[in-house]
Amino acid sequence: MNASARRWYREPVTWLLVGLPLVGVIATLALLGVGAGLSFDSAPDDVRRSAQVQQRDLAADERALALGHRVTAHLRGDGAFEIALDGLPDGDYALELVHPLEARLDRRIEVARGAGVVTVADFDRTIAWRLRLAPADGHWRIVGRWDPSAPAADVVLQPAFAAAEPPR
């Protein structure tokens, strides 16, 4: 049998002409499928948009700094995460655990008036949570960040501006 009589499906170049674009289409669809499952959400703060710039309202942080509010949270031996509300005025509070990537994993825990301690029993210590504690009216807020790689199991929740102050 001569070369001109070979059937088309036995020719390797034909498979390259069909196969490479087909692999490219399949890879593109797979990439789009994976990308659709991820969401890099913005912060849960209310922002004001001016052109391409987002500006967050910092009044609650400034009020917390003026009031001097600060608490320490720690990881207990049994794996529960605990925040003592000592030093804060009595009232209803909301603790937010903000996931670093996906808003659907964010958690909000309402704390009733007079509760001295907030306990999160099913705290996932492998996630770098951003913690926000504020009264129910949102008048002020204190924030902190859980660092899963840090050897210490304590987190200081303080006004956002307190962490930015230069060392003396």
Cα(75)–Cα(95) distance, integer angstroms: 15
The reported pTM is: 0.63
Those residues whose C-beta lies under 8 Å from the C-beta of residue 155, and which sit 6 or more positions away, are 72, 73, 74, 131, 144, 145, 146, 147
* 8 Å CB contact between 98 and 115: no
Summarize pLDDT for 50-80 with one digit per residue, the tens.
666 656 667 788 888 888 888 888 887 777 7
CATH of 58-157, one of 2.60.40.10, 1.10.20.140, 3.40.710.10, 3.40.190.10: 2.60.40.10
Q: Where are the domains of the chain?
A: 7-37, 58-157
Tokens 């399949």 correspond to: 26
Decide if pLDDT at 27 tops 90.
Answer: yes
Cα(129)–Cα(155) distance, integer angstroms: 11
Beta bridge partners of 144: 131
Are β-strands 81-84 and 53-56 bridged in parallel, bridged antiparallel, or unpaired? unpaired
For residue 63, the Cα-to-chain-centroid distance in whole angstroms is 24
Look over the chain and give the mean of its residue pLDDT values, rounded to a whole number: 78
3-state secondary structure at position 70: coil
Residue 119 in tokens: 């306990």
Cα(79)–Cα(77) distance, integer angstroms: 5
Torsion on CA atoms 28, 33, 35, 41, rounded to nearest 10 = 150
